[in-house]
Amino acid sequence: MKKALCIVSLLAGFGCFKTVAEHHFLAVQRDAGFQLATLSGQIRTQLGQTGFVAALSGFRALMADLLWIRAGSAFDRTEWPRMQMLLHAATQLQPRAVVFWEMAHFHMAYDAAHSMRLNVRQQPVAALRRVAELEYVQIGEDFLKAGLVFNPESAALWQRLGELYSRRRDDPARAAAAFTEAAKKPGALRFLRRMAAYELAKVPGKEREAYEQLRSLYAEGEQERLPNLVRLLRQLEEKLAVPEASRVYYQLSAPGSNGTQAPR
Partner 1 sequence: MNQAQNPISLSLRRVWALSHNTFLELVRLKVFYFLLLFAFLIIGSSLFTVQFSFQNPLQVLKDVGLGAMSIFSWLLGLLCTANLLPKDMEDRTLYTILAKPVSRFEYLQGKLYGVFLLLGLSVLLMSLLFAGVLAIREQQEIAELARNLSPENLPAAVAEIRAATFQMNLLPGIALILLKAMLCSTLTLLLSTLATSSVFTVLTSVVVYLIGHVQGIAREAWLAGGQASPLLKVLVAGMALAFPDLQLFNVVDEIAVGTALPAQLFWQVAGFGGLYILVYFLLAQLVFSTREL
> What are the residues binding partner 1 (CB under 8 A)?
3, 6-7, 10-12, 14-16, 18-19, 21-23, 25-26, 28-29, 32-37, 53, 56-62, 64-65, 68-69, 71-72, 75, 94, 96-100, 103
Q: How far is the CB of 261 from partner 1 (least distance, A)?
A: 25
Q: What is each CA distance from 90 to 110, 132, 234, in whole angstroms?
A: 19, 23, 47
Of the pair 101, 218, the CB lying nearest partner 1 is at: 101
Residue 171: CB minimum distance to partner 1, A: 28
Q: Which CB, 10 or 120, lies closer to partner 1?
A: 10
Query: What is the C-alpha separation between 205 and 7, in angstroms, rounded?
Result: 74
CA 6, CA 88: separation in Å to the nearest integer? 49
Q: Tell me the C-alpha distance between 244 and 151, whole Å.
A: 46
Contacts of 225 (CB under 8 A, 6+ apart): 218, 261
What is the nearest approach in angstroms of partner 1 to the Cβ of residue 112?
A: 15
Between 71 and 196, CB nearer to partner 1 = 71
Q: Hey, what long-range contacts does 180-189 have (CB within 8 A, 24 or more apart)? A: 182/155, 182/156, 182/158, 183/155, 185/153, 185/154, 185/155, 185/158, 186/153, 186/155, 187/155, 188/155, 188/159, 189/155, 189/159
DSSP 108: I
Nearer to partner 1, 32 or 127 (CB): 32
Q: Alpha-carbon distance 6 to 25, whole Å?
A: 28
Minimum distance from residue 109 beta carbon to partner 1 (Å): 16
For the bound state, the minimum distance from the C-beta of residue 54 to partner 1, rounded and expressed in Å, comes to 9
Nearer to partner 1, 186 or 205 (CB): 186
- 35 or 42: CB nearest partner 1: 35
What is the smallest separation between the CB atom of 257 and partner 1, expressed in angstroms? 29
| Cα 147 from Cα 89, distance rounded (Å) | 13
